[in-house]
Amino acid sequence: MDDDVAVDFGEDGLVPAVAQDADTGEVLMLAYVSPEALERTRETGRAHYYSRSRDELWEKGATSGHVQAVQEIRVDCDADTLLYLVDQEGGACHTGHRSCFYRTIEGENVGEQVFDPDTVYE
């Protein structure tokens, strides 16, 4: 077994993490991960991130129930970005869409809305 890769959390102590559907390859979201969030993800098998706006650790789906079961964690060549390969329960985006990348730069909605955020986050 190889030694763990030393992730470079940089000056702010965070690295970006892309969540990708483990089966389809669809990119679901991008969020930030602290050392503690990475540790919790590895311990629980569920995606944890660090909210820069709320300045706190959070488990994806703790409020909505739309959890991400992490199948594998990959690290890029510079060890400063993570890729979470996940099984997504429900939608990944707080807007109710399956993916946060549900619209084009021209504003065209190209994604699927899978839940009503007003109902989930009331």
CATH number at residue 27: 3.10.20.810
Nearest residue to 58 (alpha-carbon basis) of 33, 88, 75: 33
- As for how many domains the chain has, the answer is 1
CB atoms within 10 A of CB 40: 19
Q: Check: CB of residue 115 under 8 Å from CB of residue 97.
A: no
Considering the entire predicted model, what is its pTM?
A: 0.92
Residues annotated in the binding site for Mg(2+), as ranges?
76, 78, 80
Task: For residue 24, give its domain range.
Answer: 15-92
Q: Is residue 106 part of a domain?
A: no
Q: Which residues contact 2 (CB under 8 A, 6 or more apart)?
A: none
Residue set of the binding site for Zn(2+):
77, 93, 100
* Residue 52 forms part of a structural domain: yes
From the annotation, which residues make up the binding site?
Answer: 76-78, 80, 93, 100
What are 1-52's pLDDT values in tens digits?
Answer: 568 999 999 999 999 999 999 999 999 999 999 999 999 999 999 999 999 9
Beta strands in 42-113 (DSSP E): 48-51, 56-59, 68-75, 82-88
Instruction: Round to whole Å and give the CA distance between 6 and 120.
Output: 37
